[in-house]
Structures are given as C-alpha cells and as structure tokens.
Chain A
C-alpha cells in the first residue's frame, strides 16, 4: 500500500476502464432510501433471491427429469430415491414455489398498505401484477411435471376452468392441453412453458419492474415530514442490503427446514382413474377450489362467475387501482376503504383455505 498498484488492482482498473463497473456499482448501491432502510422493504429482494434459487434447482432437476408420459414419473422417482441429494433439490424446488407465493403476497400487501402504487409508480404496480400472474402460472404448470395423481388431477380441474371462459374457452383449453384430454401433449406443453417461456417472461418483466422502480425511486414511509425523512434517509447499501440479506437467509433456512421435515413424496403414477385419491390443488389455489363449492357458484353460469368472472374482475380491479385511487394520501390509517378491503380479502383467503382443509376430514 505504498502507492504501488498490485496486479489485482491493475486487473480491476483495466476492466473498470472498459466496463465502468465502479460507476455502475456505485449507482446500484447508492440509492437513497427515503426515511431509511426498513424490514418492510425486504420482500422484493427476497423474491429475486428465491427466483434465482428456483432457476438453479430447476436446472439441476432437468439433468434427470424426462418430460414424457411414460418416463416423467419414473425419472422424478429416480431423482427422489436414487440420485444423491435429489430428494433435497426437488423438495427445495417444491417448497421454494410455496415461498414464492407467500412472499409475493407479502410484497403486494406491503406496496398496497404503504400506498406505494400511487403516482408516479402506477407502471411499477402493473408490471408487478404481471409478475404475480407469472408466479401463479409457474405454480400451475410445474405442478403437473412429476406426473403423479396429485399432478394429474390438479391439472385436469385447472384446465376445465380455462374451458369456462366464454367464446375462446374451448380453443384455449385444447391449446393448453394439446388435445381434448390431458396427456403427453399437455405434459410437453406445460414443460416448455414452465422451463422456457415463463422464466424468459419473468426475467424480462422483473427487469422492467426494477428499471421502472429505480426510475420512479422508492416511495418511502407513508408519514413523517420532509425534514424527518431526510434526517433518516440512508443508501440502499449497507443498511437495506443487510436487512435484505438477513431476510434471504431466513427464507433460505426455512425452505431447507421444510425440505428436510416434509420432503416431496409422490403418489401413484398419473392415470384418469383417481382411485382413492381425493383431488385437490396446491394449497395456494385451495381458496379458489373451496369457493367453487359454494352454492351461489352452482350451474353453468354460476361456475363461470366463480371460476372466471370473479378472479378476472379482481385482477382487473387491482390493475385499475392506481388509476381509480388518485388521492395522494398514502397513510393507510387515513385510507379506511383500502385497509378494510385488504383485511376482507386476506381474511377471505385465509377463511376459505382453512375451510377447505377442515372439509377434508368430512370426505374421509
């Protein structure tokens, strides 16, 4: 350190001169967080982390997995029972998908409650909503791939719901299934959607989401004077990065523990006879599943309302939210309608999920 640059220092200087890494790094890390770093802001980073882990474990699974109706089940069993640590990689991927859904919900709730979807962040919110759709599509398509009874029946019911869409439903459900009933073509299609189309779409949309977020800047807390905010403002690095890393660690360890305690176990190989299996979708679709048991959603029209119109209207409402709610007020305690809506939706989802689980006992 006496003014003589080391070899490593020279290499870094050489690269930096050509790439501009230091400026880039400075720009990435020196983002002012108005009002200071908070634990509430960790969800976006954690989602990115979980997605990367899903991509890594997903690629590892593809080393053995074969997406064909006569080998999908056997190759998944091979991963689970023969390949060293295969059970762990697959279980991590499985629980990672659940983690993704939970954290997406937390992320959306945080943005909603903080009023961070309001001007000038409308497009950030819209891109986020698109990403939410992609995460659910990941869950739905990935679920079929092990080709066991659980997979087959969740898909069978799921694609029947696509069929309920007026006018284009028949075409769409055949297009997704690759035929009149689920089979090899369905598996091929879900596979390519799950491992190629959705990851590419997610990377593109997440990039746009992040770009627009950095362009608009973080929203910061919903109360406090400008002076107070300024006094507490810090950069993304190090305090927020530290909180993000801790949160990623917690999520990582949680997924690992779940993978250890409750590793993936397949049911019988997929076949159109359910046997003793009681078909059920993955837990994060359970509330919708339970919803369709209600009497008001009976019959052809009722089913259309429950399975298609209601979810579509809800997503459209979320999309329109920043354009309908134009008041600049961000304090959740001064937005009673928003607070009550969030509570009602959250409690509704919890209630329906729990009742679906309770209902299981009566079916035994």
Chain B
C-alpha cells in the first residue's frame, strides 16, 4: 500500500503529524520520500520511504521515534516541481496517492443506456456506407490517364544515307509530336539506333523468322521481313529504360553500352554483359525508295524477359 496524502504519521512512540506531500523518484517512478508536517504550516521534514514500516488505511507508521524526526532534512519546496509541470512517462500508472477519489456524476440520460455496442457498431457502419460509394469514383478519377491506346503512327527519322558501314550502330534523333490530355501538342526529342546489318547479324536478330508487331486486339500492324537489311532498335534500354550508346569497349570491341547499369549488347542487340533481361528491341521500320526511314515508335516495358508493349 502506498502512503496517502493527509494520512496520520505515527512514529514508534507517538503521532507527529500528517503526510503533506509525496515525493516520487522520476526514474523508478516509486515513492522515494514522504513529507511530514504538523498541518499547521510549521516546519515540514522529508522522510525517506525506507523509514516507513507499515501503511494502514489512515496512518503511516515510521520506524524512528518522534525525537529522531529532527535528523531528517527540512523540506525545501523550491527543489521540486509538481507532476503537472513535468512529463514523466506512465507516472499515473504507478501512483495512488490521492486522498480518496474525486468523482463526477454521470449525466442522468447516460445512465442505464442499453445497446452501447450496437450504437458503436452502427456509427461505424454508417461511416463505411458514406465512404464506400466514393471508392470507385475516386479510383476511376485517378486512373483516367493510365491506359492509352497504342500509337501506331509512322514517324520519319532520317535517311539511310547517313549509314556508311555495315553492323555499326548509328543514332537517329527525331522529334515526336505528343498530345497529352489537356496540354497543347508538344514536340519531344527521342532517339533510336539503326544499323545496316550483315546477313549474320540479321540471322541473330530475326532467327530466320519475320517479326510481327501487333496492337492490343492481336491484329498485325506491321511485319519486319527477316531479309530486310536495315534494323532499328528502340532507344530505351530494356533493363531499366535509360538511353544507351554505341561505344568501343576494351575487350568486346564496338558495342551498345548503357551507362546506367552497364548492360552491353552487340550489333544484333544480344546481351553480352550486364543485368539486361532481354536483347534490344527492334522497331517496325520501312525505307522509301529515296532512302527516307520511317518507324513506329513502339515502346516495351523494361526489366522483363519478354516484350510487353506499353506505347
């Protein structure tokens, strides 16, 4: 039992006053001292909790005699703050020093209310019913621009005259017009890599089969013939979508190298080194009689083994 405020304090021989204050250790959160006063505002003494022998309902019994009270130091109020002025975690859980309980009556209407749990659940249910119809519209609202139809426009990127040597990657930069939602039509810069492929390289690219490009319905949009000598690769690295370059490598010779995560591809787009999960992506290409090159700017998802078209 903890000492209570206003309890009588009895020494081994006689009563010396009452508990006027209680001092708590902020670390252990246990009562460390009781302050004993005569209730008349005279000198208060600070008695260690160890001196307390027993605590009864209305009195605190100390081990020492009344004459020995003088050995305890006088209580200095300025050395302390009240527990209202200081934050000590879980202090209230440890202390029961009130001089009895302080009560407030429950309002008349709240007495004997039945079905409290029912009302609680009912409140939650109404909340859910209010929120539920919003989920779908909000989701659709946010999803509006996520899925766009594939763009199968042919874009002119340059002329084959730019290519002088077989099996050498040549960059073609081009402008693409994009119209996004409410925005005015804008021109963005893009690039692809093209090469005039030798039969050996063509064989690696097409593996003896024509390459078909489809739209979402499965309808074939264009077919790259397996013996057509010009190959154009999407400028997007199939690893994580950076832009790669045609570079000379100390050991591997002339290669496509992506500066981001160092994927290396040969002229046929095959992965020679690095983390890329699949070869470079050939794009639909057609070349006019005068050498003008047109492509469909197909874009595939990066990071996956198979080609998953997203644009």
Do A181 and B275 have beta carbons less than 8 Å apart? no
B307 within 8 A of A: no
Interface string of B93-114 (1 = CB under 8 A from A): 0000000000000000000000
Interface string of A277-312 (1 = CB under 8 A from B): 011100000000100111101111011001100000
Do B275 and A216 have beta carbons less than 8 Å apart? no
B301 within 8 A of A: yes
Do B27 and A226 have beta carbons less than 8 Å apart? yes
Which interface residue of A30, A68, A156, A272 has the most chain B CB atoms within 10 A? A272
- A contact residues around B220 at 8 Å (CB): none
A174 to B142, CA, bound (A): 11
Do B299 and A26 have beta carbons less than 8 Å apart? no
Do B303 and A303 have beta carbons less than 8 Å apart? yes
What 5 pairs between A and B have smallest CB-CB spacing? Answer: A217-B89, A274-B243, A26-B85, A273-B189, A298-B275
B218 within 8 A of A: no
- Nearest-neighbor residue (CB-CB) of A281 within chain B: B260
Interface residue range, chain A: 35 or more
- A selection of 19 A-B contacts at a CB cut-off of 8 Å is A26-B86, A69-B180, A70-B183, A174-B146, A180-B310, A185-B180, A217-B87, A230-B25, A271-B188, A273-B243, A275-B189, A279-B260, A289-B260, A289-B261, A292-B261, A292-B275, A293-B261, A300-B304, A303-B239
Do B305 and A299 have beta carbons less than 8 Å apart? yes
Among B28, B183, B241, which residue has its beta carbon within 8 angstroms of that of A160? B241
- B contact residues around A307 at 8 Å (CB): 303
Do A184 and B180 have beta carbons less than 8 Å apart? yes
Do A181 and B311 have beta carbons less than 8 Å apart? yes
Do B85 and A27 have beta carbons less than 8 Å apart? yes
- A contact residues around B25 at 8 Å (CB): 230
- Nearest-neighbor residue (CB-CB) of B174 within chain A: A273
- Closest chain B CB from A237 CB (angstroms): 11
A274 to B171, CA, bound (A): 12
B128 within 8 A of A: no
- Closest chain A CB from B289 CB (angstroms): 28
Among A69, A171, A179, which residue has its beta carbon within 8 angstroms of that of B148? A179
A 9-44 contacts with B by CB, 8 A: 23, 26-28, 30-32, 34
B129 within 8 A of A: no
B39 within 8 A of A: no
B208 within 8 A of A: no
Known: A31-B86, A180-B299. A300 touches B310 (CB 8 A): no
Among A161, A170, A363, which residue has its beta carbon within 8 angstroms of that of B259? A363
- B contact residues around A226 at 8 Å (CB): 27-28
A102 to B209, CA, bound (A): 54
A153 to B260, CA, bound (A): 10
Interface string of B165-199 (1 = CB under 8 A from A): 00000000100001011011010111100000000
- Closest chain B CB from A337 CB (angstroms): 29
A298 to B264, CA, bound (A): 12
- A contact residues around B274 at 8 Å (CB): 293, 298
A215 within 8 A of B: yes
Interface string of B76-98 (1 = CB under 8 A from A): 00000100111111100000000
- B contact residues around A214 at 8 Å (CB): 87, 89
Do A32 and B180 have beta carbons less than 8 Å apart? no
Which interface residue of B146, B190, B277 has the most chain A CB atoms within 10 A? B146
- A contact residues around B12 at 8 Å (CB): none
Among A30, A161, A273, which residue has its beta carbon within 8 angstroms of that of B190? A273
A130 within 8 A of B: no
